[in-house]
Structure 1
Amino acid sequence: MVPERAYGLASWATSLTPLTLELRPVSSSPVTSPAPAQPYGRPPLRTVHVLGGSAGDGGCAHVRSLATGLAARGVRVTVCAPVAAEGEYDFTGAGARFEPDAASALRAACAGADVVHAHGVRAGMRALLALRGRRVPLVVSWHGDGPPAAGALGRLGRLLERQVARAAAVVLGASSDLVDLARLRGARDARLAPVAIPAAPEPDDPGKARAELGVVGRPLLIAVGGLAPHRGYPVLLDAARDWRAMDPLPLLVIAGEGPLRAELSRRIEAEGLPVRLLGHRRDAAQLLAAADLAVLPGRGEPRAPLAQEALRAGVPLVAAAVGGVPELVGEGAALVPYGDAPALSGTVTALLADPDRRASLAAAGRAQAATWPSEDDTVAQVLSVYDELMERPRR
């Protein structure tokens, strides 16, 4: 969703293996420096992280965070991802080696790996193909690949899920419902592993962001994410029709780009909706901090970055109660049924008319965010899984 430059990254403390010093008599022979201590008392662990288009922006931010923490701990990290993802998230700057996601590059990277970690089911299948014939443990993180498709595509998706779940040494589900799904698909070891994303930097003057959008004396609503069908934007525009009668008239801004842009633009113009499509924005975190409400109408990412950022920043959130979102936000957001435009419209209208309720929701959101695992916790959990796999007999 928001690239690394917008989030900012926390500094990671490097784990150091204790050194034992031994005093020796003075000798005329040349003095050589000892070899650098290696983590775990053995050569550096070599990991390959596989990303694809299905991992979502939250998956890319998660891998960037993992790469930073793992590299700081002496782990050698290679990220195989689309070139565009490297441009947005700068995995190389996090201390990882970047390889484009071409099949030949992926096979070469996996050939020298101790652990391959795929992010998303489709990335897991690509990793399986690259690992064919190699006894390298595969870890698959299920971040959510969007809503299930119907018909033949749905059957193919379930087949891929079964193959990946059964082949993975460990499946890490970002929410409890994904852990249950992995077990249903045949995973022999599925665990809950909440995804932590980097905290956003302190925002600039919110008034400046509002002035740049021309929002003076009116409420500002924000949604962030690619313009894709599962994001729920058609439902959001249905709700926005009701807001045209409000005084003052709120402005809804949507930061993101995608295949639905033309369709949404036509609706906004034809129906005179108080909605503006901003396209891809590097300052989405700053815009969020300036908003009166954040809106998450879709599905697909159980630990949606927008939900995490809004609750951390104390921006009241209205979200669809679907997937892992209720588990993530707890009492820290106003939840509405997925796909229910009247419920979404009514909840937003009521919150805009009730500043005390918004303040209460903001406080509850901050409290909920304080219960989430940190980036350091996430890296530690992943490292413990890798260590465990290194101790297992190779199958």
Structure 2
Amino acid sequence: MPLHTVQVYAGTGAGVGAHVRSLAAGLAARGLRVTVCAPPGAERCFRFTAAGAHVAPLPVHQRARAVALLRHIAEGADLVHAHGMWAALVAVLALRGRSRVPLVVTWHRRGHPEGVQASVARLLERRVARTARVVLGATPDLVRRARRRGARDARLAPVALPGPAPAAGAAGATGSGDGAAPAEESGRAKLRADLGAVARPLVLAVGRLTPDQGHHTLLTAAGAWRELDPQPLVAVVGEGPERAALHRRITDEGLPVVLLGRRDDTTALLAAADVAVLGARWTGRSLLAQEALRSGVPLVATPAGSLPELVGDAALLVPYGDAPALAGAVGALLGEPELHARLVRAGRERAARRPTEDETVAHVLSVYDEVAGAVRDG
């Protein structure tokens, strides 16, 4: 009988969903039975079924029902792999009393709760860390965090950027697009025209609209870029509770910024951009950063989480919340072609050294074999 794994995804980020989809496809291709428990809308975004997985809708807004559903599904499973803290907590509750079904947890990111919420978060993290057979951290600091919370086995997990890499002759993020396929260049031009960035630079930011993502800092920097000629257009992809406040600032201050909301074409938007900005207070293996490196789009980011290790010298790093530094870094990339070209080259070279999807799946499968084997032998 092939190993049956259950992947639990709570819909807490496009990067996590893409990783789960990649993992499901790789495991299914190796003969494993894969069930993905995910919010109803996740199948439309990530097509887990097409990857070879069975999909079970997970009612993320009803924890008791989610626990009961996962408990039922786990009856026939050899292993449960939860991605993210909410998914991990549901899995811990669902597997209570079922020591024969081991739990593997991947921590992709961490939040920044304050006050009472911070104390509750520490308790939940401790319970998850101590219950899981293995905690896989997407970054070294997450591995250290899991160990502080009492994890019996915490390891760094290679996480590849899913999806095919651009062709070797693909166009960069700026310039005439020499070497690009005509269809690719045409699509890029159409996207820029739709946004109103035909004769002006396009700066792209992607992330949930929450206070810790640095969007207000980006808006302040955008005010400074009005002095540039041509004036850049800033496009922000994402939704969240800060949308109304950001929209109010954009309108009141007349900022050259558009809020695009949720988009299914983020990769294409990134390829059409001149510069990508990641201003978060903390991030894990940022999907935006990895895609920017691979696509040859210069990145300006904060030295948050694992980003310095991830990007190396292939990005300009500025302090979190420092609008003048952000404005200066983006202005330098737009005004200095040699700096822009150097980061494009460095980004592609660094992306080529990242773990592949096959390597990521092989690593996870080795963990599964080890954990499932220990249960059988125990």
* Partners of 2:333 and 2:165 in 1: CA distance: 27
SS at match of 2:366: helix
The corresponding residue for 1:138 is 103
Deviating above 4 A after TM superposition, structure 1's stretches of 4 or more consecutive aligned residues are 200-203
**Per-residue displacement from partner, 1:211-268 (whole Å, max 9, x unpaired)?**
2222122111011122223322111112111111111100000122222221111110
Runs of 5+ consecutive residues of structure 2 not aligned to the other structure: 59-65, 167-182
Which one has a bigger Cα radius of gyration?
Answer: 1
Residues 158-207 of structure 1: per-residue CA shift (max 9 Å, x gap): 11111111111001111111111111111111111121132357582122
% identical aligned pairs: 60
- Structure 1 window deviating more from structure 2 (278-287 vs 353-362): it is 278-287
Could you list the per-position Cα deviations for residues 307-348 of structure 1 after superposition, in whole angstroms to 9, with x for gaps in the alignment? 011000110000111111111111111111112122111111
d(CA) in 2 for partners of 1:134, 1:254:
45
Counterpart residue number, 2:330 = 348
In structure 2, relative to structure 1, the CA distance for the partners of 1:46 and 1:260 (3 Å cut) is same
CA distance in 2, matches of 1:320, 1:300: 8
1:263 alignment partner, SS class: helix
How far apart, in 2, do the equivalents of 1:259 and 1:45 lie?
41
Residue equivalent to 2:346: 364
Cross-structure match for 1:24: none
Q: Is the 8 A contact 1:49 1:118 kept in 2?
A: yes
Partners of 2:45 and 2:213 lie apart in 1 by 21
Residue 15 of structure 2 contacts residue 287 of structure 2 at CA under 8 Å; is this kept in 1? yes
CA distance in 2, matches of 1:194, 1:343: 31
Residue in structure 2 matched with residue 193 of structure 1 by the alignment = 157
Mapped pair 1:104 → 2:68: yes
The aligned counterpart of 1:307 is 289
Q: Secondary structure at the match of 2:360?
A: helix
| Residues 204, 299 of structure 1: alpha-carbon distance in 2 compared, 3 angstrom cutoff | farther
- Partners of 2:258 and 2:15 lie apart in 1 by 23
Alignment-derived partner of residue 196 in structure 2: 214
- What displacement does 1:300 show? 4.5
Partner Cα separation in structure 2 for residue 110 and residue 342 of structure 1? 52
Residue ranges of structure 1 left out of the alignment (5+ in a row): 1-42
If the length of structure 1 is used for normalisation, what is the TM-score? 0.86
Equivalent residue letter for 2:163: A
Q: Kindly indicate whether residue 22 of structure 2 is the aligned counterpart of residue 65 of structure 1.
A: yes
Q: In structure 2, the residue corresponding to 1:323 is in which secondary structure?
A: coil
Cα RMSD (Å) of the superposition?
1.5
Please give the alpha-carbon distance, in whole angstroms, between the structure 2 residues aligned to 1:201 and 1:273: 34
Distance in 2 (alpha carbons) for counterparts of 1:69 and 1:141: 17
1: CA distance, partners of 2:35 / 2:143: 26
| Aligned-partner Cα distance in 1 for 2:23–2:122 | 28
**1:297 corresponds to which of 273, 279, 287:** 279
Alignment of 1:232-311 (within 5 A): 232-311=214-293
> d(CA) in 2 for partners of 1:272 and 1:174?
39
- 1:332 is matched with 314
1:387 aligns with 2:374: no
Aligned match for 2:50, one of 88, 93, 97: 93
Q: Aligned pair count?
A: 351
Matched, 1:46 2:11: no
What does the per-residue CA deviation read over 1:43-65, in whole Å, with 9 as the maximum and x for residues that have no partner? 11010111114x42211110000
Q: How far, CA to CA, are the matches of 2:308 and 2:214 in structure 1?
A: 17
Q: Are 1:317 and 1:334, in contact at CA under 8 Å, matched by a contact in 2?
A: yes
Partner SS, residue 94 of structure 1: coil
Would the aligned equivalents of 1:45 and 1:75 in 2 still touch at CA under 8 Å?
Answer: yes
In structure 1, C-alpha distance between the alignment counterparts of 2:45 and 2:260, rounded to whole Å? 18
Which residue identity does 1:189 align to in structure 2?
D
Aligned-partner residue type, residue 242 of structure 1: A
CA contact (8 A) 1:58 1:301 kept: no
Deviation per CA, 1:89-137, whole angstroms, max 9, x where unpaired? 1211211111122332211111211111000122111101000110111
